[in-house]
Amino acid sequence: MKNDIPTHVAIIMDGNGRWATRRGLKRSEGHYAGYKTLKKTALHILDKGVKYLSVFAFSTENFKRSKEEVDYLMNLFVTAFKSDQNFFIKNDIKVVFSGRKEPLSDEVYNVMKEIENETSNCKKTVFNVCLNYGGQAEIVDTTKKIVDLVEEGKLDINSLDTENYYHYLYNDLPPVDLLIRTSGEIRISNFMLYSISYAEIYFTTTCFPDFDEEEFDKALLDYQNRNITKGTVK
């Protein structure tokens, strides 16, 4: 019997730079192509019945890239999250962000807060954008949050377990069922470490700008035909 549609899909959107370089384009053009692909493919994924989609938009390590590339990506986030508000509202997609505030500029952070507020009543699906995100940092930040709650008398430490731990992560989302990484790299790169514990992992050599609806359907079929013994924990 085929597995159901995964509830939570997460994507490491890798290979924008290589996609551009192979075409004699600038890396920034690869990021723009990736953004265009993300809009189209995300809609397709959510239309398939996936309820939660998480994407790795910018890691804490990505700040080590050239100033030109970091500035380009930050501007792209600001422009996209301003101009796409209606896109998210029209499609009933609630946007949330996972990651640390520092060292994001106020301009980027304010746009993130604005789109979170504007889409907070959307109900159909959740789009979790991991921006200035690191998986180990999330576990450390969650631990600190839990300690604070315990000290304030708001949480009994003995009630904490592996299932309700999800409530205290950056966002209270269910575990990831299917993790996809594009571009041929076969590693996790510090992405959603707690939430991918039981995820099925799909690696493809396709670079992210080419990860269209058809490519997602291949990943979905692969997932649906797998013998999943562990299942999810939540």
Region 60-119 residues binding ligand FPP, contact defined as CB under 6 A: 62, 76-77, 80
Q: Is residue 57 within the footprint of ligand FPP (CB under 6 A)?
A: yes
Q: Which residues of 104-129 are buried (b: 16+ CB within 10 A; e: fewer)?
A: beeebeebbeebeebbeebeebbbbb
For residue 165, give the nearest of 182, 136, 145, 190 by alpha carbon.
145
Which structure tokens are listed for 227? 């013998």
* 134 touches 60 (CB < 8 A): yes
In the complex with ligand FPP, the residue whose CB is nearer, 64 or 230, is: 64
Nearer to ligand FPP, 35 or 216 (CB): 35
The 204-223 contact track toward ligand FPP, x by CB under 6 A, reads: ----x---------------
Q: In this complex, which beta carbon is closest to ligand FPP, that of residue 77 or of residue 223?
A: 77
Active site residues: 14, 62
> Which of residues 74 and 220 has its CB atom nearest to ligand FPP in the complex?
74
Tell me how far, at minimum, the Cβ of 114 lies from ligand FPP, in Å.
14
- In the bound state, the residue with its beta carbon closest to ligand FPP is 17
Does 13 engage in binding with ligand FPP (CB under 6 A)? yes
Distance CA 181, CA 77 (A): 21
Q: What is the dihedral of CA 137, 96, 54, 70, to 10 degrees?
A: -60
> What are the C-alpha distances in Å from 101 to residues 19, 76, 144, 153?
30, 17, 15, 26
Burial 155-177 (b: 16+ CB within 10 A, else e): beeeeeeeeebbebbbbebebbb
Asked if 177 touches ligand FPP (CB under 6 A), the answer is no
| Residue bearing tokens 């514990």 | 197
Question: Which positions from 116 through 135 interact with ligand FPP, judged by CB under 6 A?
Answer: 129
The yes or no reply on residue 200 touching ligand FPP (CB under 6 A) is no
Select 129 or 155, whichever has its Cβ closest to ligand FPP. Answer: 129
User: For binding to ligand FPP (CB under 6 A), which residues are involved?
Assistant: 13-18, 31, 34-35, 38, 57-58, 62, 76-77, 80, 129, 183, 208
